[in-house]
């Protein structure tokens, strides 16, 4: 079974631009979560989607948004990029989002904002 | 709010040494507890988990026991290898769907 895939793996943008990251979950998984990893703030939860609905959201500004498609693939968008948005963005999937389940992580998209 | 505190690194050990990485948590109710590992340039991999008090998670020689009385989930391994060099994250889910709350991570370096 293929793992979680994320595209692109690396991205360079300039301040003010917007960016879209993509995540394909493990086949059969319907829950997708997104996390931001930075040296200063560590790993922080962005949001979680299940069956195309956002069920949970972290403490990030409205510039960060996401969506999920009927095939469970998910995208996150960051508008009006700031230097502080430079980070590794990780996506994780699980079957239903139950807290007893294992979340499987993708390799991440490394975003650099110049 | 819910939080995880883990010992600061880096932890530097010789091969075959005993490893302990301390992790304590603050959470309402009965969280599920996890240890994830991150190798350089990669995403996170689940190492082990425990979903209720007194459960012991184990995998690849690593163990951790869910201790509700001390709100702890310390990671141990009897004999580390160079290949165990990585960053280890303790994490919990206390309520909302799939919202993992992570500790700051502990970098482990194992030398031959």
User: How many CB atoms sit inside 10 A of residue B54's CB?
Assistant: 10
DSSP letter assigned to residue A9: S
In which residue are the tokens 């690396």 written?
A10
Which residues of chain B are at the A interface, by a Cβ-Cβ cutoff of 8 Å? Answer: 31-32, 36, 41-46, 49, 51, 89, 91, 93-105
pLDDT at B97: 66
Distance of CA B82 to the CA centre of its chain: 18
Chain A residue with CA closest to B97: the answer is A97
How far apart CA A62 and CA A79 sit, in angstroms, is 9
Contacts of B89 (CB under 8 A, 6+ apart): A43, B6, B35, B36, B37, B38, B44, B102, B103, B105, B106
State the average pLDDT for chain B.
94
CB-CB neighbors (< 8 A) of A43 in chain B: 89, 91, 100, 102, 105
Question: Confidence class of residue A51 from pLDDT cuts 50, 70 and 90?
Answer: very high
pLDDT digits (tens, 9 = 90+) for B90-104: 999 987 667 899 999
Q: State the DSSP H helix or E strand holding residue B38, giving kind and residue range, or none if neither.
A: strand B32-38
- Report the distance separating Cα B66 and Cα B49, nearest Å: 9
Coil vs helix vs strand at A83:
helix
Inter-residue contact B34 to B102 (CB < 8 Å):
no
pLDDT digits (tens, 9 = 90+) for A76-101: 999 999 999 999 999 999 998 777 78
Instruction: Quote the pLDDT of residue A96.
Output: 84
- Tokens matching residue B111: 């030398």
Answer whether residue A102 shows pLDDT above 90: no
Position A2 scores a pLDDT of 81
Predicted local confidence at residue A29, as pLDDT: 95
A-chain CB neighbours of B36 within 8 Å are: 105
pLDDT digits 0-9 by tens, B41-61: 888 999 999 999 999 999 999
Q: Which residues of B touch A45 (CB under 8 A)?
A: 99-101
Q: In terms of pLDDT, which residue wins out, B43 or B21? A: B21
Cβ of B51 within 8 Å of Cβ of A100? The answer is yes
**Which of B43, B48, B103 is best to mutate for the A interface (most A CBs within 10 A)?**
B43
């Amino acid at each position: 079974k293929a793992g979680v895939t994320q595209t692109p793996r690396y991205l360079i943008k300039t301040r003010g631009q917007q960016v879209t990251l993509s995540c394909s979950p493990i086949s059969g998984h319907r829950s997708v979560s997104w996390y931001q990893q930075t040296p200063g703030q560590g790993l922080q939860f962005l949001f979680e989607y299940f069956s195309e609905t956002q069920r949970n959201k972290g403490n990030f500004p409205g510039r960060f948004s996401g969506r999920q498609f009927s095939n469970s693939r998910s995208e996150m968008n960051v508008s009006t990029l700031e230097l502080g948005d430079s980070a590794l963005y990780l996506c994780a999937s699980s079957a239903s989002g139950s807290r007893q389940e294992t979340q499987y992580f993708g390799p991440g998209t490394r975003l650099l904002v110049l | 709010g819910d939080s995880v505190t883990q010992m600061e690194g880096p932890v530097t050990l010789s091969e075959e040494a005993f490893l302990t990485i301390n992790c304590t948590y603050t959470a309402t109710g009965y969280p599920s507890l996890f240890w994830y590992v991150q190798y350089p340039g990669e995403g996170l991999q689940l190492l082990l988990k425990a979903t209720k008090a007194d459960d012991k998670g184990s995998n690849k020689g690593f163990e951790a026991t869910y201790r509700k009385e001390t709100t702890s989930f310390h990671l141990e391994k009897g004999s580390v290898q160079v290949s165990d060099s990585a960053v280890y994250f303790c994490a919990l889910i206390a309520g909302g769907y799939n919202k993992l709350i992570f500790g700051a991570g502990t970098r482990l370096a194992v030398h031959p």
